[in-house]
Amino acid sequence: MAPESHPDSVPDSHLQSSGSAGSQPIPVLLLKTKSSPTDPYDTLFSSTGEYTPIFVPVLQHHNVNDDVVKGYILDGSISFGKGRFGGLIITSQRAVEALGGLLDELKESNKDLIDAFFSQTRIYVVGPATKKALVNLGFSPENVLGGESGNGLALSDYIIETYSPGEGDLLFLTGETHSTTIPTRVPEKLKSEKELDMKIEEVVVYKTGVMEGFEDEFRGWLEKLDKNSTGDEAETRWIVVFSPTGTDAALKVANEKGENEKVKYKVCTIGPTTSDFLWQAFKRKPDAMAKIPSPQGLMDAVKNGSRMALEVVL
């Protein structure tokens, strides 16, 4: 299983990464909080024996605009075929958590209404993890749509293809930093291709900041991994980023090391939004990007990226 997040808690022997012989697991710095009681990224990466997953928490979140969403739920605005909004769009687990928190509050005094909301509300999602989180929250699996789309562009195509007249607008519950692909592309395409007028209203339900102490902790991990470097030209280390905010914080620290360091860190992103930010902010393309934002999608990307790096060296 993955080591604790603080670098001083892990023996040096656990962090010797593989060279061309592949004798030691490759360190993978996952810039996220480790889920409890089990984390699917930890389980998958550890199970192969090829990687040492290391969790470094980078983000802290706080919910906002609860009253706006509560108002829409209580007045019946979110109701397929009946309300102003025919459904929701949710593309992150943080938004799921924000929605779940306010639904718990509402259920105390509006149980029947919230039970009906769980069973009847249609929700469009990106990725199987977000779908699973919503189903675990209590939403009907048949009403959680687009789980295999993988990214915002694919989900927008799915909505455009399946949307019918009279279904109403959509309410997009999102974070402060997000792609504008879905809220701009879907209405434009529906208008030009189907002559349908629909709107997507965005409500920011959580804001994200960098966790206090992250820079020192992350810098400590990089220094510890450098200390245990074999010096092999084929040696690989991965930094996996899950959000633009996390990317910004991590790359600023990683770039302090300069281009002359013997260990080069490869960057893998969870999807196109984070990849776009990486290029816009740092003029760097990711060394790998998950095709689907899931543990398996991420590990496949890291595997392919590691294989390509080894082929270049050989």
pLDDT tens-digit series, residues 69-113? 999 999 999 999 899 999 999 999 899 999 999 999 999 999 999
Is position 121 within any domain?
Answer: yes
User: Is 155 contained in some domain?
Assistant: yes
Domain encompassing residue 255: 7-58+211-313
Q: Read off the amino acid at residue 221.
A: W
Q: Dump pLDDT digits (tens) for 270-313.
A: 999 899 999 999 999 999 999 988 999 999 999 998 765 433 33
Q: The pTM is what?
A: 0.67
| Number of domains making up the chain | 2
Helices 93-107 & 111-120, crossing angle to 10 degrees?
150
Residue at which a domain ends, from 165, 185, 209: 209
Q: Residue 104 half-sphere exposure, CB side, CA atoms within 13 Å? A: 7
Residues 233 and 187 grouped into a single domain: no
Structural domain contains residue 216: yes
Same domain, residue pair 178 and 267: no
Is residue 1 assigned to a domain? no
80 lies in the same domain as 199: yes
Residue type, position 143, single letter: N
Tell me the mean pLDDT in the region 237-250.
93
Quick one: 236 and 149 in the same domain?
no
Q: Are residues 87 and 124 in the same domain?
A: yes
For residue 146, pLDDT beyond 80: yes
pLDDT at 231 over 70: no
Average pLDDT over residues 23-29: 86
Among 179, 209, 239, identify where a domain stops: 209
Domain boundary (209, 238, 266) is at 209
- Residue 263 has a pLDDT of 58
CB 82 within 8 A of CB 76: yes
